[in-house]
């Protein structure tokens, strides 16, 4: 029983939360990496795009709840996703028309785009706070747990509990589906291929008759979908607060850069790497070792590699190491 207890304890506090967090980061990083690959700039407004998308979903969810539509044991927010994505898509296309298009036709250098995106970030920041306010919003409904820690203990007779939240399962399942569709789209469809061509070599793509405005439009729509889904999954799992979404920008960029900017596979790997690094390195092994070691060798201290204060340093150390030895990231994206 002892090794099982150790495993369950590790799963409950490390593996399950890190997997869900990793999936959320991966979806966010995918959006950042797509914009970097195709539109060639780091979009600082991505965190606030996620906040805007989630806000649209929340408002739709409240509307659905008011007229009595629900998804049974699943959160109503999943039904509201398409509407949220559509609204966010319109906002992003509008932003592109008003802001980015101007710089694109002038063939501005990437840093100009980055600074413009910073401005867009502040506007979206204000917009979200103006519409829904700066406070926490809880919008998850339906069943909260697939299995609670208490139930697990009763079922298995183990000392350690393992809780699996519905939102964690939904997060991982939805992330897998979204990634599968995205890869199918990029590799198999005509539009997807033209996007990759445009990303690889803009001049050649233009010569072979690819319409750049169409590519840009599809990119924004896909980014809107990814951002809204990532934001909603995160909000369901934790809670929605505009400021937190702004802060999410940091781990998301770290994920995208570690994986290799411009590389979708890299974004996913980076997301999970950052999430697991943050949670595992600061996890005290006291309990786990307590179960595994013979009584005499049981540790007194916490056996913690790093205090949780340094959690954020971990992502940055990984980032620095990767950039030092592989400047293009793990999966050879573009050099930063």
Partner 1 sequence: MRKFLLATAATLATTAAFADAHSPIKLGVVLGFTGPLESLAPAMAAGAEMAMSEVSDSGMLLDGVMVEPVRADSTCIDAAAATSATERLITGDGVVGIVGADCSGVTGAMLSNVAVPNGIVMISPSATSPGLSTAEDNGLFFRTAPSDARQGVIMTEILMDKGIESVALTYTNNDYGKGLADAFQTAFEEAGGEVTISAAHEDGKADYSAEVGALAAAGGDRLVVAGYVDQGGSGIVRASIDSGAFDTFHFPDGMISQALVDNFGSEIDGSTGQNPGTDSPGAKLYQDMASAADYDGTSPFSAEAYDAAALILLAMQAAGSTDPAAYKDSVMDVANAPGEQILPGELAKGLQILKDGGDIDYVGASAVELIGPGESAGNYREVTFENGELVVVGYR
Question: By the criterion CB under 8 A, which residues form the site for partner 1?
Answer: 9, 12-14, 17-18, 21, 135-136, 138, 145, 148-150, 152, 161-163, 165, 234, 238-239, 241, 243-244, 247-248, 251, 275, 278-279, 282-288, 302, 304, 307-309, 311-312
Q: For residues 293 and 296, give the distance between their C-alpha atoms in angstroms, rounded to a whole number.
A: 8
Query: Smaller CB distance to partner 1: residue 135 or 213?
Result: 135
CB of 50 to partner 1, least distance (A): 11
CB of 133 to partner 1, least distance (A): 12
Query: Smaller CB distance to partner 1: residue 89 or 251?
Result: 251
| Parallel/antiparallel/unpaired status of strands 164-165 and 145-147 | antiparallel
Query: Smaller CB distance to partner 1: residue 216 or 254?
Result: 254
Residue 203: CB atoms within 10 Å: 8
CB of 173 to partner 1, least distance (A): 18
Per-position DSSP letters for 5-51, written without gaps between them:
HHHHHHIIIIIHHHHHHHHHHHHHHHHHHHIIIII-S--TTHHHHHH
- Residue 190, classified by CB atoms within 10 Å of its CB into exposed (0-12), middle (13-18) or buried (19+), is exposed
CB of 127 to partner 1, least distance (A): 19
Query: Smaller CB distance to partner 1: residue 39 or 257?
Result: 257
Tokens of 232: 């909603």
- Using only the alpha carbons of the chain, give its radius of gyration: 21
CB of 54 to partner 1, least distance (A): 13
Q: For residues 178 and 183, give the distance between their C-alpha atoms in angstroms, rounded to a whole number.
A: 9
Residue with tokens 């806000």: 55
CB of 278 to partner 1, least distance (A): 5
Q: For residues 36 and 132, give the distance between their C-alpha atoms in angstroms, rounded to a whole number.
A: 29
Query: Smaller CB distance to partner 1: residue 97 or 144?
Result: 144
Query: Smaller CB distance to partner 1: residue 223 or 248?
Result: 248
Which residue, 72, 83, 69, 58, is CA-closest to 233?
A: 58
Which residue, 201, 159, 190, is CA-closest to 8?
A: 159
CB of 331 to partner 1, least distance (A): 23
CB of 240 to partner 1, least distance (A): 12
Query: Smaller CB distance to partner 1: residue 65 or 148?
Result: 148
Q: Where do the H-state alpha helices sit in the chain?
A: 2-10, 16-34, 46-66, 77-95, 101-105, 110-132, 149-156, 166-188, 190-200, 202-207, 212-237, 242-259, 264-281, 286-292, 311-325
Query: Smaller CB distance to partner 1: residue 96 or 278?
Result: 278
């Amino acid at each position: 029983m002892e090794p099982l207890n150790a495993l369950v304890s590790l799963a409950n506090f490390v593996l399950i939360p890190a997997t869900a967090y990793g999936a959320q980061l991966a979806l966010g990083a995918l959006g950042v990496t797509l914009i970097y690959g195709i539109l060639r700039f780091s979009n600082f407004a991505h965190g606030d795009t996620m906040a805007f998308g989630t806000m649209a979903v929340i408002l739709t969810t409240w509307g659905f709840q008011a007229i009595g539509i629900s998804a049974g044991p699943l959160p109503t927010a999943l039904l509201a996703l398409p509407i949220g994505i559509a609204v966010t898509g319109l906002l992003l296309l509008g932003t592109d028309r008003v802001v980015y298009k101007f710089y694109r036709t002038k063939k501005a250098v990437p840093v100009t785009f980055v600074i413009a995106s910073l401005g867009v970030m502040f506007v979206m920041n204000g917009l979200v706070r103006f519409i829904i306010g700066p406070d926490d919003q809880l919008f998850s409904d339906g069943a909260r747990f697939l299995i609670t820690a208490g139930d697990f203990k009763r079922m298995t007779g183990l000392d350690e509990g393992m809780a699996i939240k519905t939102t964690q399962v939904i997060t991982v399942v939805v992330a897998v589906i979204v990634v599968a569709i995205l890869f199918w789209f990029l590799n198999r469809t005509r539009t997807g291929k033209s996007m990759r061509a445009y990303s690889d070599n803009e001049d050649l793509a233009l010569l072979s008759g690819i319409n750049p405005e169409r590519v840009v439009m599809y990119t924004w729509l896909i980014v809107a979908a990814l951002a809204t889904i990532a934001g909603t999954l995160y909000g369901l799992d934790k809670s929605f607060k505009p400021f937190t979404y702004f802060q999410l920008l940091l781990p998301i960029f770290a994920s995208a850069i570690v994986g290799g900017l411009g590389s979708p596979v890299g974004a996913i790997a980076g997301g999970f790497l950052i999430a697991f690094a943050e949670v595992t390195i600061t996890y005290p092994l006291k309990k786990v070792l307590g179960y595994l070691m013979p009584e005499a060798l049981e540790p007194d201290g916490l056996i913690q590699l790093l205090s949780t204060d340094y959690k954020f340093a971990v992502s940055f150390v990984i980032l620095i190491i990767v950039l030092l030895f592989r400047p293009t990231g793990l999966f050879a994206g573009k050099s930063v």
